[in-house]
Structure 1
Amino acid sequence: MPRFRPLLAATTLIVLGAGPLLAQTAPADAPPPPAQMGHHMMKHAAPFAKLTVTGTGHATIQPDMATITLGVSTRAATAAEAMTQNAEQQAKVIETLKAEGIEARDIQTSGLNLSPVMDYSDQGQPPKLTGYGAQNSVTVRVRDIAGLGAVLDKLVASGANEISGIAFSREDMAEAEDQARSEAVAEARRRAEVMAEAAGMRLGRLISLSEAPTGGGPRPMMAMRAQAAGSADTPIEAGELAVSADVTAVFAMRPADAPQGGEPPEGEITPEGEIAPEEPPIEAPAN
């Protein structure tokens, strides 16, 4: 009986020694625990879709500046006389502008023309040259709208006999433009929420937001008028300026009955409505 003890001891050592060897050869890519598997499945269980909406916002603001185009038109027997008379008369107009506080940077010549004046009254006969006409116009910015009517009256008295246009604007439009943008973004989100609910979806995070360029600048809200009124100052009604902004927003959305899982993960939405998962980081092997 004693001679069998060494063999049994040797067998026991072999079995015990195999334990560390089995632990070292366990596969490295073993499946994750059930909790991790469930989280991975929930991440991609509910497909996500994209919803594109537009929003428009408006704001109004009072103008603080007027731009007018006015000039002098003269006629004489010769071209030289027409130009000389025009220059003298226009010089008085410009002097009046400066006397009313209009700075030189706000006065710009916008047109100069000299043309023959023809008489076409005799039918069947060639037209006759009766003289020459000269026109000189300037574009003026008036920064004091309250006194614009009085300025126009003084310009006419000094020799201006043409007023071809008046437009109102504001030097700083940033505040009104930002207000219109905020309203446009709020309108886009409101539309997205209504559309998502109607489609049985739940609105998710904002994916992208862009502003469409607007043309034409601010628009007058009311008609402006500039007309003579006897000895009183010419009445000027500036009204208000309207500013608009247009935005396009893209939101993620998913079915309303999908399990709650927070916002969609960061990543690009595929055409099939899935969120493309981010690539896992590559870890360097431990030394």
Structure 2
Amino acid sequence: MPAFRPLMAAATLIVLGAGPLIAQPAPTDAPPPAGMGVHPMKHAAFAKLTVTGTGQATVQPDMASITLGVSTRAATAAEAMTQNAEQQAKVIETLKAEGIEARDIQTSGLNLSPVMDYSDQGQPPKLTGYGAQNSVTVRVRDLAGLGAVLDRLVASGANEIGGIAFARDDMTEVEDKARSEAVADARRRAEVMAQAAGMRLGRLISLAEVGSGGGPRPMMAMRAQAAGAADTPIEAGELTVDANVTAVFALRPLDAPDGRPAAPQGTTESAPEN
């Protein structure tokens, strides 16, 4: 058998030179290959912690959106539309006289419908006329004078106000502040949970924003009344912006060295022999 020894030695050299053993470690539950004086690297699976964080920021509004309109009734459809158009034209003229730009005035509804009388029981309903409605959505950028503007609009012919919604022209800064608060909240929660579990927080694995919301308050519905001597009181309040994030962190044992998870108890890590 001496003639075969060079071939066996050559085969051993090919296996050792095939590539680093660390790149393809043997399974932790498999015995090391016979005849090789190398301990395979054993990697411990690390735990992951998923948390959510919420953030909130407030800001003063600098504009308001108002839905207002004119409702008229007449014996014929044509008459109802004519009266409505004349009255709505006065309302729009008043808006422009108050400094509202054309880009901030938009027609949001136009309706013509028959008016029926159902008071006689057992009798078919009777047509008593036609009703016309024309509404516009207006952005008012001068909140200080909003109450006075509303009063003048009512005096000019507007007899319906659907609601007021407050907003801010640029919400970028307050939205970013809410996001920062949400991320900080997620990390705080993760640190508390890691400490409670007897672990310490590792690196951030992933971070995503989910379903953030905020902005204008819900509109309040109201019916316009005749203008009085005092301006209609308007309170703008504050706008609240909410942000929500989901973060995934690695969890590491307290005694794990920085940079990688610790190996399971009872195992050793060693570099491959050269």
1:250-265 matches, cutoff 5 A: 250-258=248-256, 261-264=257-260
Root-mean-square deviation (Å):
2.9
Structure 2 gaps, min length 5 = 1-11, 21-37, 265-274
1:98-137 matches, cutoff 5 A: 98-137=96-135
Change (3 A) 1:223 1:135: closer
2:269 alignment counterpart? none
Q: Secondary structure at the match of 1:239?
A: coil
1:148 alignment counterpart? 146
2:229 alignment counterpart? 231
The answer (yes or no) to whether the contact 1:226–1:234 under 8 Å persists in 2 is no
Q: Secondary structure at the match of 1:220?
A: coil
Q: Percent identity?
A: 79
1:169 alignment counterpart? 167
Change (3 A) 1:225 1:206: farther
In the alignment, the residues of structure 1 paired with residue 80 and residue 224 of structure 2 have an alpha-carbon distance, to the nearest angstrom, of 28
1:197 alignment counterpart? 195
2:87 alignment counterpart? 89
1:220 alignment counterpart? 217
**Equivalent position amino acid for 2:183 in 1:** V
Change (3 A) 1:227 1:119: closer
Structure 1 residue 208 and structure 2 residue 195: aligned? no
Moved over 4 A (4+): 26-30, 43-47, 221-229
**Can you list the C-alpha shifts for 1:245-279, whole angstroms capped at 9, x where unaligned?**
11111111211133xx21238xxxxxx9xxxxxxx
**Can you list the C-alpha shifts for 1:167-191, whole angstroms capped at 9, x where unaligned?**
0011111111111111111111111
In the alignment, the residues of structure 1 paired with residue 231 and residue 129 of structure 2 have an alpha-carbon distance, to the nearest angstrom, of 35
- TM-score under structure 2 length normalisation: 0.76
**Equivalent position amino acid for 2:51 in 1:** V
Larger Rg: 1
- TM-score under structure 1 length normalisation: 0.73
In the alignment, the residues of structure 2 paired with residue 126 and residue 47 of structure 1 have an alpha-carbon distance, to the nearest angstrom, of 79
Change (3 A) 1:252 1:184: same
Give the count of matched residue pairs.
230
2:73 alignment counterpart? 75
**Equivalent position amino acid for 1:262 in 2:** D
